[in-house]
Amino acid sequence: MSLKLGDTFPNYKFQTTQGEFNFHDWLGDSWAILFSHPADYTPVCTTELGAVAKQAEDFKKLGVKLIGYSIDTVSSHEGWIKDIEHYNGLACGKFPYPIIAGSRKQAADLGMLDPDEVDKAGLPVTARCVFVLKDKKLKLSLLYPATTGRNIAELLRVVKSLQLTMEKKVATPANWQPGDKCMVIPSIKDDEAKKLFPKGFETAKLPSEKAYIRLTPDPSS
């Protein structure tokens, strides 16, 4: 059951480092990022979870809840958090988000397992999945192999893009950053675009003479 964009995330009952809860109850109507890691007490994961913790306030300002996931136990997570805090220079005892102690079946159902990386028992470990959710639905997913760490700044960037493009009738081009020009979506006619974007828009001149690239200042700025 690999999730597709627009699918509702299953309402699993999760055991976590911050107690047991039904996922939908914890999520509410908020934005959220659920990200999986291969295993506790592993090097790349220790840097990743620490990097997310360091930027937890930046996600909070965007209204984004954070939650980690692997198929290790709660007690394993709790012990490992001390290493994460120490290695990344975090304040001890104030880890800012829960980590789920998931099941292998859940991980398989969600398409999280990495067939090329196995644990000591020879079983596939959890890949580095990222699920960005809003209204309990999948809005964006990223999938990294176990050997490649994620870029946390990119997760912040894509959330900002998603939030902007859900609110305004624009798209964001490659390498977009907040404040950069956005693109008027093709379904908007010029007359409507003039009303929607009072700062105006410019149309790129192309060899095809088709007017499908229209740039407008970031409407959130």
Domain map of the chain by residue range? 13-150, 168-216
pLDDT of residue 187: 94
Question: Taking a C-beta distance cutoff of 8 angstroms, is the pair 27, 64 a contact?
Answer: no
Q: What is the pLDDT of residues 159-200, one digit of tens each?
A: 999 999 999 999 999 999 999 999 999 999 999 999 999 999
pLDDT of residue 66: 98
Q: What is the pTM of this model?
A: 0.91
Angle, CA of 99, 101 and 77, to the nearest 5° = 60
Looking at domain 13-150, which CATH architecture does it have?
A: 3-Layer(aba) Sandwich (3.40)
Q: Write the DSSP assignment of 124-137 as a string of letters.
A: EEE-EEEEEEETTE
Active site residues: 45, 135
Domain 168-216 has CATH 3.40.1390.10: no
